[in-house]
Structure formats: C-alpha cells, structure tokens
A and B are shown apart, each in its own frame.
Chain A
Amino acid sequence: MDSLQNIKRRIKGIGNINQITKAMELVAATKMRRSQELALTSRPYAFAALDFLATLSQLDGVVLPAILEQRPIEKKLVVLVTSDKGLCGSFNSAIIREFERFLKKNSISFKDPAYAFLAIGQKAGQYLERRTKNLAGKFTRVGDYTTLEQIKPVADKVVAGFLNKEWDEVMVFSTQFRSALKQDVLTRKILPVSFENLKKSAQDIVPETGKFAEIAREGGTLIHTDKKEAKEYIIEPSPEVILNELGAHLVLMEIYHMILEANASEHAARRVAMKNASDNAEGLAADLTLIYNKSRQASITKEIIEIVAGAEVMN
C-alpha cells in the first residue's frame, strides 16, 4: 500500500482533473447550443433559396449553367469534415472509420488518380496528409462555430475545381447532429447540385429531439410554384444568370450548414466525453479516499498496539 502522503497527493490530482473536465463539459454544452441556434436561424434562408431554384427549374428552355450540370462522373472529390481538437470521444475516429469502410467497399486506393481528397479540420488533415498525395486542400480552424467568411474559401475551392473539371462529383463525409446524445456519420453528395439533396439537407438541420426540434417545427416550409405560375414571373436579368449565381450560393450554403452541424456534433461529443471523464474522476477519488482512510486507520491501530505492547513490557 502507498504511503498516506502519496495517496493524498493522488486524490488532490484527481480532484483537479475533475474540475477541469467539468468546466470543459459546461463550455462544450454552451457551444453546442450556440451552434445549433446558428444552424437553425439560417433555415428560412435555405428554404427561400430552394424555392427560387424550384421556380426557375419549372421554366422551359433554360440552359443549365455549368454548376448545375450533370456530367459523366470520372473524377471524384471526397471531403472529410472533422474537428481541429481532440478530447471529443469517438467523434473523429467515427468519420475516419466510415471513410475507410467506403474506400474498402469500392476498393479505392489513396493513389488512385480518379480521386482527390479535401480535408476540413486538423484531424482529417493529419490523417490524409500521411496517406495520400492527391490532397486537394486542407482547411483548418473552421472554429467553434463557423462563419460564412471562413467557409467562403472552402466553397470557392470546391466550386472552382468542379467548374474546371478537376472533379465531376463531390462527396462529403460529415457528422449529422441527430440529438445531443446521438450523432451519425453521413455521406452526402453536394455537387452536382440536385434539388432533392439540397432539400434533404435543409430539413436535416433540425435535430430529432430537444428544444430546437420544437422551435423548428413551427416554420420553414416550401411554397410550391407550378409551371403555369412560373411562366408569369419576370426574371431579371435572365434565368441563366440567376441560376448560375444561385447555384454557387446553394453550394456555399450547403457547406456552411454541413460544417455548422459538424461543429454542433463535435461539441455534443465533447460534452459526453467530458461528462464521462468527470464521472470517472469522481469514482476514482471516492475509491482512493476509502483506501486513504483505511490506511490511516491501520497506522493508528499499529501505533496503539505498539504503545500497549510497550506498556505491558514495563509491567
């Protein structure tokens, strides 16, 4: 058994760790709420943008701009969205595991020139840099909650590559925030732009349970415009120009949403991990206190025995 002093020092150390993890848990909870809020406030915007796209796509004889074009898929870009920091349980490894499963299933090697990879977040960057030469880019510090300014370079890169035919399809591995306790890895296709995918991801912003699920149910629906009504529209300057701009905008918006959702998931995962850590620390401290008291008692008993034995010898 350790000496009393040693045990005491360990109890103190564990107490400090407990304090830190508890603080991190609280911080992560607040950040999670904030990033959820941000994702939800952008929902009416997303629905309005989708409506505009729907109206425009009802028109006859509109030439689709390059960004909305479906072309034969030869090259693919795979984007991995992870966090910058660790200490968030299996958040990052879940994404990487899913990604590796995808590689295995389609027997893709990292050297395959038909695939390019893009990393968002430090962890994905480290993972991909070590393995592949086809790294299209690495974006880090998307932050606790991302801003549009931070997303812009990412979206520009993805869109520019698509327009220059560096890739014909863009797939994203990111985390979907289903509730504060449940996050899933989700694979989405963000380019070429398709109405169905966009609509799905706008609806996915709402978590299944919790405070924000209630709020979101109240608003945000699509208004349907049929063919005849679409013809009534005056479109300035021309459907092609608007579609082109709108397409780029929708991609930006989708990446923004995706990363916000990943942010919310990261904070949720971190909160759970930190909660487990504090619980463990508490358990450990309780065990050690018990050992400490036992050994203290043992040493007192030993002293008494020594005194009694001494007294008996004197008699």
Chain B
Amino acid sequence: MKLSVYSLKKILYQGEASSINCQTVSGEITILEHHRPLLSMLKEGVLRILDGKKQEHFLPVKSGFLEVNKDSQVRMIVEE
C-alpha cells in the first residue's frame, strides 16, 4: 500500500509500505494491506514502517492524524 507521512516542515516518508505500526489514542495498531477505511488520532510514540524491501524505518511522532482510505492508501499528518 502507499504511505505518505507529512509534517508541516517536510515530507517524512512517501512510498510503498507493507506494514505500519503506530500508537493511536485508542491503542497500538498495525496496518496491513487491505485495511478498512479508518480515521484516527496518533499519540506520542514511534511510527514503525516496514517498506516493500523489508527495510524498517522509524519515525518519532508527538501527535497527529491518520487516515486509511478506500484504496488502502495511508496518509498521516504528524507533529514531530
């Protein structure tokens, strides 16, 4: 699935991802391919992204919002 992580200062991540793990206000979730549409809020924690080549990326997050849309594209707007 396609993932974009934006902050007000720059684009933090843009590209393919096979798994995204993050802390939302209702608990820790992992988003995989074909997730249901979702809108949620992120809380302070670490965003773990597993990209197409099984490479792990970590991004620190202070707060933010997360959306998975019907084409299972994931967009996040975060504050670092």
- Chain A residues with CB under 8 Å of chain B are 38, 41-42, 44-45, 48-49, 51-52, 55-56, 148, 223, 225, 229, 232-237, 241-242, 245-246, 249, 253, 256
Residue ID in chain A nearest B26 by CB atoms: A236
Q: B38-70: contact bitstring with A at CB < 8 Å (1 yes, 0 no)?
A: 111100000000000000000000000101011
Chain B proximity of A261: nearest CB distance (Å):
14
- How many chain B residues have a CB neighbour from A under 8 Å? 24
Pair B69/A223 contact, Cβ less than 8 Å: yes
Q: How far is the CA of A51 from the CA of B71 in the complex (A)?
A: 15
Using Cβ atoms and an 8 Å threshold, which residues of chain B touch A234?
A: 36-40
Pair A236/B67 contact, Cβ less than 8 Å: no
Using Cβ atoms and an 8 Å threshold, which residues of chain B touch A241?
A: 25, 41
Pair B40/A52 contact, Cβ less than 8 Å: no
Given A41-B9, A233-B38, A242-B39, 11 other A-B contacts at CB below 8 A? A41-B10, A45-B8, A48-B6, A48-B65, A48-B67, A148-B79, A233-B39, A234-B37, A236-B39, A236-B40, A236-B41
Give 5 closest A-B pairs by Cβ, nearest first. Answer: A45-B6, A236-B40, A233-B37, A42-B8, A236-B26
Pair A48/B36 contact, Cβ less than 8 Å: no
Partner of B77 from the list A48, A55, A148, A229 (CB cut-off 8 Å) is A48
Using Cβ atoms and an 8 Å threshold, which residues of chain A touch B67?
A: 48, 51-52, 55
Q: How many A-B residue pairs have CB under 8 A?
A: 77
Pair B25/A44 contact, Cβ less than 8 Å: no
Residue ID in chain A nearest B76 by CB atoms: A48
With known contacts A48-B75, A256-B8, A235–B39 Cβ distance under 8 A: yes
Q: How far is the CA of A56 from the CA of B69 in the complex (A)?
A: 12
Q: How far is the CA of A58 from the CA of B11 in the complex (A)?
A: 27
Main secondary structure of the interface of B (DSSP, over half): strand
Pair A225/B69 contact, Cβ less than 8 Å: yes
Sample (17) of A-B pairs whose CB atoms are under 8 Å apart: A45-B7, A49-B77, A148-B79, A225-B69, A225-B70, A232-B37, A233-B37, A234-B39, A234-B40, A235-B39, A236-B24, A236-B26, A236-B38, A236-B41, A242-B39, A249-B65, A253-B8
Pair B39/A55 contact, Cβ less than 8 Å: yes
B4 at the interface (CB under 8 A from A): yes
With known contacts A234-B37, A236-B24, A236-B38, A242–B65 Cβ distance under 8 A: yes
Q: How far is the CA of A237 from the CA of B4 in the complex (A)?
A: 22
Using Cβ atoms and an 8 Å threshold, which residues of chain B touch A49?
A: 65, 77
Pair A229/B8 contact, Cβ less than 8 Å: no
Residue ID in chain B nearest A38 by CB atoms: B9
Using Cβ atoms and an 8 Å threshold, which residues of chain A touch B6?
A: 44-45, 48
Chain B proximity of A149: nearest CB distance (Å):
11
Chain A proximity of B29: nearest CB distance (Å):
9
Residue ID in chain A nearest B36 by CB atoms: A234
Chain B proximity of A51: nearest CB distance (Å):
7
Q: How far is the CA of A253 from the CA of B76 in the complex (A)?
A: 15
Residue ID in chain A nearest B73 by CB atoms: A223
Pair B26/A44 contact, Cβ less than 8 Å: no
Q: How far is the CA of A123 from the CA of B77 in the complex (A)?
A: 34
Using Cβ atoms and an 8 Å threshold, which residues of chain A touch B40?
A: 234-237, 242
Using Cβ atoms and an 8 Å threshold, which residues of chain A touch B11?
A: 41, 44
Using Cβ atoms and an 8 Å threshold, which residues of chain B touch A253?
A: 8
Using Cβ atoms and an 8 Å threshold, which residues of chain A touch B4?
A: 44, 48
Residue ID in chain A nearest B29 by CB atoms: A236
Pair A45/B36 contact, Cβ less than 8 Å: no
Chain A proximity of B57: nearest CB distance (Å):
18
Q: How far is the CA of A235 from the CA of B26 in the complex (A)?
A: 11
Q: How far is the CA of A209 from the CA of B36 in the complex (A)?
A: 41
